[in-house]
Amino acid sequence: MDTHALIQPLVAKNNTKIVMYVADGLGGLPQQPGGKTELETAHTPHLDKLARDGVCGLSIPVAPGIAPGSGPGHLGLFGYDPVKYLIGRGALEATGIGFELGPNDVAVRANFCTIDAKGNITDRRAGRIASEESAPLAIRLRQVKIAGVEIFVEPVKEHRFVIVFRGPGLGGDVLDTDPQATGVPPLDPVASNAGSQKTAEIAKEFVRQAKELLKGETKANCCTLRGFAAKPSLPTYEEVYGLKAAAIAVYPMYKGLARLVGMDILGSAKTLDEQIEVLKANWAKYDFFFIHFKYTDSTGEDGNFDAKVKRTEEYDAAVPKILELKPDVFISTGDHSTPSMLASHSWHPVPTLLWAKHCRTDACQSFGESECLRGGLGQFEAKHLMTLALANAGRLGKFGA
Amino acid sequence: MDTHALIQPLVAKNNTKIVMYVADGLGGLPQQPGGKTELETAHTPHLDKLARDGVCGLSIPVAPGIAPGSGPGHLGLFGYDPVKYLIGRGALEATGIGFELGPNDVAVRANFCTIDAKGNITDRRAGRIASEESAPLAIRLRQVKIAGVEIFVEPVKEHRFVIVFRGPGLGGDVLDTDPQATGVPPLDPVASNAGSQKTAEIAKEFVRQAKELLKGETKANCCTLRGFAAKPSLPTYEEVYGLKAAAIAVYPMYKGLARLVGMDILGSAKTLDEQIEVLKANWAKYDFFFIHFKYTDSTGEDGNFDAKVKRTEEYDAAVPKILELKPDVFISTGDHSTPSMLASHSWHPVPTLLWAKHCRTDACQSFGESECLRGGLGQFEAKHLMTLALANAGRLGKFGA
């Protein structure tokens, strides 16, 4: 179902405010079968009250059994079908380090590697060279000059860096050059369609000059290129929902994802308290606010159950400060589950609550996985959440006569 | 949603074992409103314990309100969209009697009929001639010889038999020859595309020779042809899921369906105990096992509530023998419901349980329709079950970065 095509003609504007308060990786698992999850263990009086007054459910980010990355996880919450709207790996990597992609850009994930005298790869990841050693090498590669194209090189971490080629007529469909093996040379960049031919030629020249610039380096003297991707073309929040939307996030990845759907990125908060201050300062200017809280995911990824519980309590503690502003629709959810028992993103459905005046309350007594299972939203694909938000905000007209 | 396209790139291999233990027609109805279903009436301590330790739900085989046949019912469980992957009637009939279709085969369902001196049909089903009388006639039709094509004729039941034409360039798109009326002659076989022209000609010649061979027979002296179908082309379990898969079934239909998706057919068990022995003997050799139990369906079809209860208990009693082998993922489900109150396949969602280490247990206390309704799997389309199995087996990577 194309939800955008369905709702776009129904959108109406009014003065309501919608807050989507996202705890990254919110869903979890108990430490023992039959025990409580992180969210169920945490003391979350504010979310529990909203669960009683609002309507709960479990969000399926992409499809049953599918563990999403941050890209598809957030696109789903934003109401963009995550299977239809794929963000290329290069574009996501650039987004993740805060690089603002333009319409003429092709982003590439690059790996430093080592090659021998014959040009054959000896280590595909340059021995996972330390970031302090690789960053200056990446910066050195800014010296590469190719006529007709602007080139950006940004360090990421260890052997990884990002290249962005900017210029007219650059297609993003070029195959990876990592041969996935040692003892052979890197592959030449090959365009998979005519519109990406120029990109492939530029990439080839980039690698040639890079080898010159890295000549004599023992830890990293070449590079491979992967995940070529043009800026994904997504309709904006304004276009699809008629919403003037803003994102308040600490980490570049989530700012970048919000920017891709046309949200304004507000402030430069480093803490949740600062994020709330930014929210207050901008309350009058926007219809929709996406507030991103990272640490429920990072503690889950660390496999630290207790730390995730603590971070969940921190997330809960900020709720009253948001409610003081009297949003018409308040949503608490996650982009996916990150159970500390798995120390990774998982496929488990994500606890979700929606509070609004006419939301039709259910019997849920607290905010947690088990309670949400008997919630009024049922189990639903994340891409429907924005439709529910708009409906509860009185921003959707009737479908059909 | 094309689940195969979604998961194929995410598939990872490991050493886990998945068991899908299918009770055909598992779902049922109470004898009186408010009463217990067959499954709820049955004493099923082993499944009940798994329901407490695992996660339950209700599987919708095709779509709400749709009662599936065995073909789509099993394709759904196997993760193949049963609306996309249609198995032609001829192919299913051949499969059902254990005929192993090859890539150059076209299978046809044939009906004996009677015609008068003018060639007009007097009985479309040859008076539902007894199987003992029709079988020798079907076997006599093996004498039909047509240049360039190999022909197989197999008795089925009463007036029904199967013909398989084998040869190069045989398309499966030929219209039925049964005019659905008496007093008129059978239709000539007509190809609905150029690639099936040769098949139509061969079929016409088959009927001509058949009439010669049956001349003078009073009970059946002609035949009509229906459901022409080439072997369906399905991607295999290995291709889609990276699973080395095996089927342990007693009845040819289920072996045939499993063979169509590339499963190996193991043993020649005639009882559930023998099936378990086959499972044990082959445990090390496969990643995935489909074990089929027929009698919950056949007793339901007979309208025998008590017999279905007894057969359900038999199905439950074998569970510990499977669990002894320590599967990583254990699934109990059915391909559809067969309530004895209806004495037929029905549209009712099917009780399903999945047990795995990280399945996120729900509040279900026993295995039955009512309890499954509050299960953590919710109500889900059967085609998602294999994705959940792979995820719980740790065999699926993350979707997107």
DSSP track, A343-374: TS-B-S-EEEEEEETTS---S--SSSHHHHHT
Contact B390 A67 (CB under 8 A): no
Cα–Cα distance for residue pair B189/A138, rounded to 1 Å = 71
Closest residue in chain A to residue B378, using alpha carbons only: A379
Which value, in Å, is the radius of gyration of the alpha carbons in chain B? 23
List the structure tokens of B112: 């004996």
The verdict on A107 and A74 lying in the same domain is no
The SS3 of residue A113 is strand
Of A65, A344, A369, the CB nearest to B384: A65
Separation of alpha carbons B386 and B20, rounded Å = 9
Average pLDDT, chain A: 96
Question: What pLDDT is stored for residue B117 in this prediction?
Answer: 95
Looking at the domain assignment, is residue B187 inside a domain? yes
B257 and B138, same structural domain? no
State the average pLDDT over residues A41-49. 98
Domain boundary among A212, A230, A248: A230
pLDDT band at A131 (very low <50, low <70, confident <90, very high): very high
> Where does B318-368 have alpha helices with state H?
319-323
Which residues of chain B make contact with A34, given a CB cutoff of 8 A?
Answer: 361
Average pLDDT over residues A108-129: 96
Number of alpha carbons in the 13 Å side-chain half-sphere of residue B197: 3
Q: Which residues on chain A are in Cβ contact (under 8 Å) with B58?
A: none
Distance from CA of A258 to the nearest CA of B (A): 15
Cα dist. A78→A71, A319, A333, B293 in Å?
11, 20, 12, 44
A64, A341, A369 member nearest B384 (Cβ) = A64
CA distances from B125 to A229, A332, B183, B223 (A): 63, 64, 14, 9
**Do A62 and A171 sit in the same domain of this protein?**
no
In a domain? residue A203: yes
pLDDT for the residue numbered B106: 97
Q: Are B163 and B206 in contact (CB under 8 A)?
A: yes
Separation CA B157–CA B128 (nearest Å)? 9
Q: Which helix (H) or strand (E) holds A45?
A: helix A45-53
Could you give the percent of chain B with pLDDT greater than 90? 96
Please give the residue of chain A at the shortest CA–CA distance from B381. Answer: A64
d(CA A228, CA A148): 19
> How far is Cα B54 from Cα B329, in angstroms, rounded to an integer?
10
The domain that holds A294 is classified in CATH as 3.40.720.10
Alpha-helical (H) ranges within B78-154 are 89-96, 131-140
CA distance B371 to B369: 6
Which of B27, B81, B82 shows the shortest CA–CA distance to B59? Answer: B27
Both B300 and B313 in one domain: the answer is yes
Per-residue pLDDT, A387: 98
B349: which 2 tokens?
């969602």
Cα dihedral value B12, B18, B22, B27, nearest 10: -80
Inform me whether the pLDDT recorded for A149 exceeds 90: yes
- The rounded distance, in Å, linking the Cα atoms of B385 and B78 is 8
Domain identity same for A103 and A81: no
Facing B388 at nearest CB: one of A64, A68, A342: A64
Give the pLDDT mean for A233-255: 95
Q: Dump pLDDT digits (tens) for B50-108.
A: 999 999 999 999 999 999 999 999 999 999 999 999 898 899 989 888 899 999 999 99
In a domain, residue A401? The reply is: no
Of B1 and A248, the one with more pLDDT: A248
H or E element: which one contains A3? helix A3-7
What is the domain count for chain A? 2
Does B107 lie in the same domain as B66? no
What pLDDT does B84 receive?
A: 94
**Residue A118 CB contacts under 8 Å (≥ 6 apart), including other chains:** A185
User: Is A370 in Cβ contact with B358 (below 8 Å)?
Assistant: no
Name the residue among A33, A69, A93 with its Cβ closest to that of B399: A69
Coil, strand or helix: which one is A155? strand
Residues facing A23 on adjacent strands: A293
* Distant-in-sequence, close-in-space partners of B329: CB < 8 Å, separation ≥ 6: B16, B17, B18, B19, B354, B355, B356, B389, B392, B393
Cα A180 to the chain's mean position, in Å?
27
> B360 to each of A222, B141, B355, B364, B366, how far by Cα in Å?
46, 58, 9, 12, 16
CA distance A142 to A104: 19
Say yes or no for a CB contact (<8 Å) between A69 and B374: no
Position B209 pLDDT exceeds 90: yes
Query: Are B158 and B226 in a shared domain?
Result: yes
Residue A401: what pLDDT?
86
Average pLDDT, rounded, for chain B: 96
Q: What is the nearest CA distance from B375 to chain A, expressed in angstroms?
A: 8
Average pLDDT score over residue span B306-325: 98
Query: The domain spanning residue B112 has which CATH number?
Result: 3.30.70
| Beta carbons of B400 and A69 less than 8 angstroms apart | yes
Q: Give domain status of residue A398, yes or no.
A: no
Best of A346, A369, A373 to disrupt the B interface by mutation (most B CBs within 10 Å)?
A373
> Residue A34 pLDDT > 90, yes or no?
no
What's the rounded mean pLDDT across residues A119-147? Answer: 96
Distance from CA of A215 to the nearest CA of B (A): 32
Using the predicted structure, report yes or no on whether residue B140 has a pLDDT greater than 90: yes
B131 and B164 in a single domain? The answer is yes
Residues A358 and A327 in one domain: yes
pLDDT per position as a tens digit, B318-369: 999 999 999 999 999 999 999 999 999 999 999 999 999 999 999 999 999 9
Domain endpoint, select from B185, B205, B230: B230
CB contact under 8 A, A65 and B374: no
Same domain, B261 and B190: no
CA atoms within 13 A on the CB side of A35: 14
Q: Which amino acid is at B385?
A: L
Full residue range of the structural domain in which residue A210 is found: 92-230
A372 within some domain: yes
Q: List pLDDT tens digits, range A304-330.
A: 999 999 999 999 999 999 999 999 999
How far apart are the C-alpha atoms of B329 and B20, rounded to whole Å?
Answer: 8
User: Measured between CA atoms, how close is A122 to chain B, in angstroms?
Assistant: 26
- Percentage of residues in chain A with pLDDT exceeding 70? 100
Domain C-terminal end among B230, B257, B278: B230
Q: What is the pLDDT of residue B1?
A: 82
B245-248, strands of its sheet edge to edge: B264-265, B245-248, B288-293, B18-23, B329-333, B350-355, B55-60, B378-381
B399 found inside a domain? no
How would residue A107 be classed by pLDDT, with cut points 50, 70 and 90?
very high
Distance of CA B346 to the CA centre of its chain: 15
The pLDDT of residue A334: 98
What is the tens place of the pLDDT at every residue in A150-169? 999 999 989 999 999 999 99
- pLDDT tens digits, residue range A254-307? 999 999 999 999 999 999 999 999 999 999 999 999 999 999 999 999 999 999
Name chain A contacts of B396, Cβ cutoff 8 Å: 65-67, 347
> What pLDDT band is residue A96 in, cutting at 50, 70 and 90?
confident
B246 and B126 part of one domain: no
B207 neighbors B110 (Cβ within 8 angstroms): no
Q: Percentage of residues in chain B with pLDDT exceeding 70?
A: 100
Q: Does the residue B183 lie in any domain? A: yes
Residue at A399 is within a domain: no
Q: How far is CA A167 from the centre of its chain?
A: 26
Q: What is the pTM of this model?
A: 0.91
The distance of A132 to chain B (nearest Cα, Å) reads 24
Whole-angstrom distance, CA of residue A86 vs CA of residue A92: 10
| A266 and A190 fall within a common domain | no
Separation between Cα atoms, residue A57 and residue A372, nearest integer Å: 5
- Residue B305 parent element (H or E): helix B305-317
> What are the C-alpha distances in Å from B269 to residues B97, B244, B246, B250, B293?
16, 20, 14, 6, 11
